Structure 1
Amino acid sequence: MVFAAPNEALARAEKVLGAAPPPLHASVAHQVIGIWQRDFGDTRLALDHLRRARDLAAGADSADREADVLATLGVALVHAGRTRDGLAAFERGVRRGMGHTRARVLYRRAYVWWVLGRHGEALEDVRRAIPVLRQADDTIWTARALTLRATVHLALGAVDRADADFTAAEALWDTTGQEHDKADAVESRGLAAFRSGDIPAALKLLDEAEVRYAALGTPTFVLNIRRCEVLMAAGLASEALAEADAAIAVLDRIGGQSTRKAELLLVAARAAQSAGDAQTAIARAAVAVRLFAAQRRTWYETHARLVLIEARVATGRASGRLVGEAAAVAEKLASFGAPAAPEASLLAGRIALSLDWTADAERHLSVAARSRHNGPPLARMTGWAAQALRARAAGSTRGVLEACRRGLDVLDDHRMTLGASELRARATAQGAELAALAQKASLASGGPRRLLVWSERWRATVLAAPPTRPPADPALLGDLTAFRVIAARAESARMEGRPVAALEREQRRLEREVRSRTLHMRGEAPGGGDRFDVGRLLAALGDDVRLVELAVLDGRVQVLLCGQGRVRRFEGGLLAEAEREAAHVQAGLRRLAHPGAEARLPLVEAAGRRLEELLFGPAAAQLGSGPVVVVPPARLHMVPWALLPALRDRVLSVSPSASSWLRARWTAPPPGGRHVLVRGPGLASGGAEVPPLAQGYGSGRGAGGDGRPVVLEGDGARVPRVLRELDGAALAHIAAHGTFRADSPLFSSLRMADGPLIVHDFERLDRSPYRIILSCCDTARFASVGADELLGLVTALLPLGTAGVVACSAPVNDAAVVPLMLALHKGLGAGLSLAEALRDARAALPGDAVHQATGWAFSAFGAA
């Protein structure tokens, strides 16, 4: 009962002790309380009760009872960090127990061997226990033993064996009422899904297990550890670090298991390292190493040392000593049969290369490269990274490019199993090293075409295929509706000065629910989409259009100028300097949005000239006189490109990649030509452009059907109706307050009458509008994630059928937006593209600072 209904078992055990029971019964009651405290509470109290249970069992002269308690005590001692005492208790328990009882003791010792990372001993003990438990028809303990054996197999990378044992265990659990063990079985299946590379299934199963544990009121420290591992593999390292640190705080507060604290510190260190926080990784890993060493857990101690070395290298501490330490860790992990051994060999080889120790590097990298053909995707990625580094050390450009191609193909296939665009984008970080190696090899070989191909290979890949459409899940739809209602109530409360803390908590809870359900989606499209073809791009550009792709190698901007049938390379400035200048420009535009800041206009224009020199270098003089398409890296998404002198009077469009520009160019408009005009609440201008636009289109200027646009405003601008009308429209103009969420970009929103219209809503469209104009602030802001990906409203629209978007990357003066929008639509009505119409609209604005800054803040994305 202590696992099926732990709190009820605790209460009944305390009731038994309150009735002055005989020693045998008292021993059982103290053991139950000890188990509860061991797993869900204070380890110190657990040891007190279990020692009392042991003494009472000895006094009752029951060898089997004493053996059973000794096994429970042994587990508690090991979890308290007293490994020698715990193993001694097991030795006595095995000697005292007979038959069925001894099998249960062996199972628990196998569990302890697993906790200690001694997997051979664990498999031997569980092998001895299972036949006896089966013969005794002990369903519960047989299922536990099968689950444990599966877990050990997973630790050793034997996924198929683990699956067989998990399946057999689950069939047995279905015949019992052991709810805690059933939850553990679901959690274990989540771990198996993760080890096989199925991240969406792993997240779904772990979330289900958490719900089951919550119903029992039991802590979830092992679940926390496993979910952190999955989050890191999904590119959500910062979330994994936050979850691990929170679990450590809870464990410290209740005086919980020392072994679990060490494991949580290890996973926190790995998460910090993945998130780029090397100092935090060093601090967490160093404590974990000490705890594991004290607990005699060599398997885990070795893994913690690996993270510690990785973090030290990340701080620039490469040395011959670290090569030796990494090599020793790799050798020890290989002796354990640990799947992380190739990662350690890769690290040793990478450090050796940085020291020009080529012979040592080759030795370690050749070992790591063996993993490239087998195992889960990220393990094969490690192998291909090692192979690429071997080729670079040997001076083989062809070998580097082949290894990078093969490795990124593995990651492409893995990435497309993910249904959520957020996970697809973040997963690209795993390929950043391979993409960078290929770009450097391409640059060294001197071919700008090759550099362009590799710049495109791992840029904006999330746009290569539409995201998996969210299922028609009533729970998800209900959460979205509830989120919208709560968010609207919270916004109203803030505006009226009422308390919002409770509403904000509920909003965050609903956001977690929506996001969680979205992350569970599996991908539907195999592979990584069409391969980029330079010839195809140059043919589409013709003689007049220039495409400028900005690549970044070793911190410096490389300018790839495409057009007139050729690709030329120029060198720009340092990326860090360009980012700082872009931030200054953004600050200047924010000030110019308010009247009275005219004196800052020359300063902003001067910053634009400096930014152009850093970004384009000599290429700025080679742009010709025709249209220009700019393809910036993700870290330069905030640049207002129309401010740059060489682009100011151009037909200018921006695209996340050359590939996405080509797809947008060949996207056909939908039949019918329906126009939709939306005016949301709370705008300073009141969306003043919408009525004249409605009148203009209503007089026959380009609308479909009867010539009149669909106008949604007031109570009519509610999210369900807006989405229904936007689906498949030829043109949508949305005048609504925009909010960018840097912390969760897919919750960036446009305010409608019933609450926010978020990116997750747009992903439910069968086809987003062919052209979209977003006339308010912050609609073209993005979060840079993964290798070179952008998450935000505009990038959500482009894979869904939108060929062109006009949006704003900075705060603007709402009143000044109105004439810009009217002029823009005038150009569209005359048959111009979005980029052409926006160029003419800027030129038609008054020459004062406010209007000029407003024009610069808007960009045309795509190719419509």
Structure 2
Amino acid sequence: MTGGSDTIFELLPMVFARPGEALARAEAVLDGDPSPLHASVAHHVIGMWQRDFGDLRVALRHLRRARDLAARSGSADREADVLGTLGVALVHAGRTRQGLAALERGVARGTGHTRARVLYRRAYVWWVLGHHREALDDVRRATPVLRQADDVIWTARALTLRATVHLALGAVERAEADFTAAQRLWDTTGQEHDKADVVESRALAAFRSGDIPAALRLFDEAEERYAKLGTPVFVFYIRRCEVLMAAGLAPEALAEADAAIAVLDRIGGQTTRKAELLLAAARAARLAGEPDTATARAADAVRLFAGQQRAWWETHAQLVLIEARLAAGRTSGRMVADAAAVAGRLTECGSPAAPEASLLAGRIALRLGRRAEAERHLDVAARSRHSGPPLARMTGWAAQALRAEAAGSSRGVLEACRRGLDVLDDHRMTLGASELRARATAQGAELAALAQRASLVSGGPRRLLVWSERWRATVLSAPPTRPPADPALSRNLTAFREIAARAETARVDGRPVPALEREQRRLEREIRSWTLRMRGAVPGDGHRFDPGRLLERLGGGRLVEIAELGGRVQVLLCGEGRVRRFEGGPLADALAEVEHVQAGLRRLAHPGAEGRLPVLEAAGRRLEELLLGAAVSHLGPGPLVVVPPARLHRVPWALLPSLRERVVSVSPSASSWLRAVETEPPPDGGHVLVRGPGLATGGAEVPELADRYGTATVLEGDEARVPRVLDSLDGAVLAHIAAHGTFRADSPLFSSLRMADGPLIVHDFERLHRSPYRIILSSCDTARLASVGADEVLGLVTALLPLGTAGVVASGVPVNDATVVPLMLALHKGLSSGLSLAEALRDARAALPGDAVHQATGWAFTAFGAA
């Protein structure tokens, strides 16, 4: 290509409109015999492409060549323009002094419009370095000149940059105004990369204003735009990691940051972006409970930022490094001083993270017993509790609660915890996805623990019960936002079922499945991404738990709520008009015993393991001592409701000796049990019997149950397809589903029941207007749940409870299919005579033969809820 000057200069904006085409055309120019001016532009284009999308070392070679050719061409503005781009590349390579010097020469050499572009680039570099006020000064000087020149592209870039700097300083409203103005300008251009960048920046602004669903939606839109361009975008990954962490998805943020670092290393990309990705990975690792990984990533980030002379970033990395060391159990006076120094520097540069650093200094000082010093730092951190985004206010209330605890004021602790959890509750209810609501509770775990500790010291068992309920199973306090009838979501769910079914068939036939599994994972990501973007529409109930109402509804029964404080089990026994507290054993011992019990039940699902029965029974006795302690002798003769913490959801309660012949039901919280008790069955609901494919017994109980209920809807064979099953389940009074269950620990809302056309997943159940009043899941693993957040559980059972289901019977371990059939028939016999699920399950266990396999099957099933 040897066109005129106008044509060659069109390649510069094309780098961010059609990157691949710009690179190819620039290389074509150099294949000819270009003039120094044209060759300078071509090398400039290649250098820009390599700087942002490729190898930074290659970029620097091309940009230096472009600078030299510009000087030969005799154009001072051409040389200034290249110097501006070269300065940015040098800074990204960690050569900060050289980069700033190149930019200074560019500002001096350029005139008018060109000089304004170089000022914009220097403003961008100031932002990268964390010098936000200098960035604002330069962009304010550049913008009027760019406007006057009617340079739409560079004016839009300047507005986008100014908005981004405002975000870094916490000025969200100013940022929004600039992003909106920039968006209007970008819409008049063909700059596709720049358009994607402003969508990405708006996502960050939505997040900073507290709107996580909008942020996730905009990030998805930006990702789609970038994907069409085929270029890596490392700032995008850094920003999205921040939102994923705030949404409680820290492991995903860590995986995304580490993957981006690997790509960056492979292509020889910008070291500035590597440092920022390391910082994101460190934050994510700390939140994911990996303090050693967090320490290593943060230390690398500190080293890189220091070498790049990026003091603002270095200070933020030092904050994460100290947090990671504290999480690893390290404390020292030096750490207090370091955290205080970091807080001071963050305050000086106007960072919204300053209160977090002050809280950290106060927390470490408290651990060292330096109360006066802790009070100073906590007082500073507590000032953020009345303003700013929700998570910043949470930091302030956490500091206030720690101050009150150090001063010995239980009332002050409880008030601060109440106010802080109210803030987080309001924030959670903006989230439509039950997964995000559950994971967000992790941010309130410390406040909940502080309140429980204060209640234990001064308030007695009843107050401890109230606070145990305050942050337990909150995701069940309101129905999840029901997904609208979105055609794209419906298509993805249908395609997911089809691909999953084909993959299962291929596995059975021994055929390769990698391509099908990749497509299944892609569809899972699409479905999950769609649900995470839903906004909350239903307010919570305010968690106004009333112990008096609970005690009244219990009648002659008892409710045992198990809490954990300081590593030990606390047993709150409710009944006879009062709440009493007993102490159990170490929680760690109980958790270890649960694993032994689970393994024993799995073995007993197969004949020939009968010799393990005494071992399993002995484990049940140990579990009873650890989990119930002296409360066992006060349980009374009536029905018992057990409310375990999330980490104990796998306990087979019927195995405990004192509970084997009792009517026992399990509930995620006392509040959810009360709601279940007060749930009325649908007046015109029918009975639904579903038999899925591939069962060892063929779901042998279903034909007999069909005869028992007479008019029941029976779905089997090709009739047992997900759309038909969901339609029949909606509003049923009783549903019995005999289908293979699959629990997904990696993604609990994709736990499923196997139907004729593929898996029926939790996301499908959440689309019901009202789930069945009673539901019986007769296959194994259907009661398994994932513990997430502070004290939340996700899975099939918890998806049903807030949607109108008052009671569920399900198994949490693999069971022997043949022994399930008589258990289910006996269970339904009890239900037909008017018993509750828990009563019928107790009687069904007693009716089974006395061999080990039948006993293990009976213990594996649990009644949840109150129906």
Indicate the TM-score class for this superposition, using the shorter chain for normalisation: over 0.9
Partner of 1:20, secondary structure, is coil
Find the counterpart in structure 1 of residue 834 from structure 2: 831
Equivalent AA in structure 2 for residue 641 of structure 1 = W
Which of 736, 739, 760 does residue 736 from structure 1 map onto? Answer: 739
Matched, 1:534 2:542: no
Which of 763, 774, 782 does residue 771 from structure 1 map onto? Answer: 774
Find the counterpart in structure 2 of residue 854 from structure 1: 857
Matched, 1:561 2:585: no
Partner of 1:861, secondary structure, is strand
After TM superposition, the structure 1 = structure 2 runs for residues 234-273 of structure 1, keeping only pairs within 5 Å, are 234-273=247-286
Matched, 1:642 2:644: no
Which whole-Å CA distance do the structure 2 matches of 1:490 and 1:9 have between them?
42
Residue 473 (structure 1) shift: 1.0
Partner of 2:563, secondary structure, is strand
Matched, 1:413 2:426: yes
Equivalent AA in structure 2 for residue 694 of structure 1 = A
Q: TM-score, structure 1 length as denominator?
A: 0.98
Partner of 2:144, secondary structure, is helix
Find the counterpart in structure 2 of residue 428 from structure 1: 441
Equivalent AA in structure 2 for residue 310 of structure 1 = E
Partner of 1:638, secondary structure, is coil
Residue 526 (structure 1) shift: 2.9
Partner of 1:466, secondary structure, is coil
Matched, 1:686 2:715: no
Find the counterpart in structure 2 of residue 811 from structure 1: 814
Find the counterpart in structure 2 of residue 520 from structure 1: 533
Which whole-Å CA distance do the structure 2 matches of 1:491 and 1:665 have between them?
40
Matched, 1:617 2:629: yes
After TM superposition, the structure 1 = structure 2 runs for residues 309-328 of structure 1, keeping only pairs within 5 Å, are 309-328=322-341
Residue 742 (structure 1) shift: 0.3
Find the counterpart in structure 1 of residue 764 from structure 2: 761
Which of 838, 842, 849 does residue 845 from structure 2 map onto? Answer: 842
Which whole-Å CA distance do the structure 1 matches of 2:484 and 2:28 have between them?
50
Matched, 1:666 2:678: yes
Tell me the percent identity. 83
Find the counterpart in structure 2 of residue 448 from structure 1: 461
Matched, 1:27 2:30: no
Find the counterpart in structure 2 of residue 705 from structure 1: none
Residue 646 (structure 1) shift: 1.1
Find the counterpart in structure 2 of residue 283 from structure 1: 296
Matched-pair contact (CA < 8 Å) for 2:340–2:377: yes
Equivalent AA in structure 1 for residue 592 of structure 2 = R
Matched-pair contact (CA < 8 Å) for 2:470–2:543: no
After TM superposition, the structure 1 = structure 2 runs for residues 99-178 of structure 1, keeping only pairs within 5 Å, are 99-178=112-191
Equivalent AA in structure 2 for residue 622 of structure 1 = H
Which whole-Å CA distance do the structure 2 matches of 1:527 and 1:122 have between them?
43
Which whole-Å CA distance do the structure 2 matches of 1:530 and 1:591 have between them?
41
Partner of 2:325, secondary structure, is helix
Find the counterpart in structure 2 of residue 494 from structure 1: 507
Equivalent AA in structure 1 for residue 156 of structure 2 = A
Equivalent AA in structure 1 for residue 686 of structure 2 = R
Matched, 1:607 2:619: yes
Matched-pair contact (CA < 8 Å) for 1:465–1:529: no
Find the counterpart in structure 1 of residue 608 from structure 2: 596
Which whole-Å CA distance do the structure 2 matches of 1:673 and 1:42 have between them?
65
Matched-pair contact (CA < 8 Å) for 1:413–1:528: no
Matched-pair contact (CA < 8 Å) for 2:477–2:540: no
Find the counterpart in structure 2 of residue 702 from structure 1: none
Which whole-Å CA distance do the structure 2 matches of 1:586 and 1:250 have between them?
41
Find the counterpart in structure 2 of residue 72 from structure 1: 85
Which whole-Å CA distance do the structure 2 matches of 1:797 and 1:851 have between them?
28
Matched, 1:233 2:236: no
Find the counterpart in structure 2 of residue 703 from structure 1: none
Residue 530 (structure 1) shift: 4.3
Instruction: Point out where structure 2 has 5 or more consecutive residues left out of the alignment.
Output: 1-13
Find the counterpart in structure 1 of residue 20 from structure 2: 7
Find the counterpart in structure 1 of residue 396 from structure 2: 383
Residue 529 (structure 1) shift: 4.1
Which whole-Å CA distance do the structure 2 matches of 1:316 and 1:721 have between them?
54
Partner of 2:251, secondary structure, is helix
Cα deviation code 1:635-692 (max 9, x no counterpart): 0011000010111101110000000000000001002130000000011111000000
The more displaced of 445-454 and 241-250 is: 445-454
Which of 576, 582, 597 does residue 570 from structure 1 map onto? Answer: 582
Which whole-Å CA distance do the structure 2 matches of 1:237 and 1:183 have between them?
25
Which whole-Å CA distance do the structure 2 matches of 1:401 and 1:529 have between them?
16
Matched-pair contact (CA < 8 Å) for 2:478–2:540: no
Q: TM-score, structure 2 length as denominator?
A: 0.98
Which whole-Å CA distance do the structure 2 matches of 1:175 and 1:609 have between them?
73
Partner of 1:690, secondary structure, is helix
After TM superposition, the structure 1 = structure 2 runs for residues 459-470 of structure 1, keeping only pairs within 5 Å, are 459-470=472-483
Which whole-Å CA distance do the structure 2 matches of 1:590 and 1:28 have between them?
70
Which of 635, 638, 644 does residue 632 from structure 1 map onto? Answer: 644
Partner of 2:255, secondary structure, is helix
Find the counterpart in structure 2 of residue 478 from structure 1: 491
Residue 528 (structure 1) shift: 5.1
Matched-pair contact (CA < 8 Å) for 2:394–2:423: yes
Which whole-Å CA distance do the structure 2 matches of 1:358 and 1:855 have between them?
55
Equivalent AA in structure 2 for residue 738 of structure 1 = G
Equivalent AA in structure 2 for residue 852 of structure 1 = Q
Equivalent AA in structure 2 for residue 118 of structure 1 = H
Cα deviation code 1:387-412 (max 9, x no counterpart): 00000011100000000000000000
Which of 344, 364, 388 does residue 331 from structure 1 map onto? Answer: 344
Instruction: Point out where structure 1 has 5 or more consecutive residues left out of the alignment.
Output: 699-707
Find the counterpart in structure 2 of residue 220 from structure 1: 233
Which whole-Å CA distance do the structure 1 matches of 2:202 and 2:121 have between them?
21
Partner of 1:642, secondary structure, is helix
Equivalent AA in structure 2 for residue 156 of structure 1 = L
Which whole-Å CA distance do the structure 1 matches of 2:105 and 2:842 have between them?
85
Matched-pair contact (CA < 8 Å) for 2:773–2:807: yes
Which whole-Å CA distance do the structure 2 matches of 1:471 and 1:284 have between them?
41
Find the counterpart in structure 1 of residue 70 from structure 2: 57
Cα deviation code 1:400-426 (max 9, x no counterpart): 000000000000000000000000000
Cα deviation code 1:738-774 (max 9, x no counterpart): 0000000000000000000000000000000000000
Find the counterpart in structure 2 of residue 704 from structure 1: none
Cα deviation code 1:319-360 (max 9, x no counterpart): 101000000000000001000000000000000000110110
Cα deviation code 1:269-303 (max 9, x no counterpart): 00000001000001100110000000000011000
Matched-pair contact (CA < 8 Å) for 2:478–2:539: no
Equivalent AA in structure 1 for residue 435 of structure 2 = E
Find the counterpart in structure 1 of residue 353 from structure 2: 340
Residue 446 (structure 1) shift: 4.5
Which whole-Å CA distance do the structure 2 matches of 1:485 and 1:797 have between them?
24
Residue 527 (structure 1) shift: 4.4
Find the counterpart in structure 2 of residue 792 from structure 1: 795
Equivalent AA in structure 1 for residue 377 of structure 2 = H
Matched, 1:48 2:61: yes
Equivalent AA in structure 1 for residue 93 of structure 2 = A
Partner of 1:4, secondary structure, is coil
Which of 96, 100, 120 does residue 109 from structure 2 map onto? Answer: 96
Partner of 1:326, secondary structure, is helix
Which whole-Å CA distance do the structure 2 matches of 1:262 and 1:686 have between them?
57
Partner of 2:585, secondary structure, is strand
Which whole-Å CA distance do the structure 2 matches of 1:726 and 1:841 have between them?
25
Partner of 1:284, secondary structure, is helix
Matched-pair contact (CA < 8 Å) for 1:552–1:575: yes
Which whole-Å CA distance do the structure 2 matches of 1:209 and 1:500 have between them?
31
Matched, 1:196 2:199: no
Equivalent AA in structure 1 for residue 397 of structure 2 = W
Equivalent AA in structure 2 for residue 763 of structure 1 = E
Matched-pair contact (CA < 8 Å) for 1:551–1:558: yes
Matched-pair contact (CA < 8 Å) for 1:486–1:506: yes
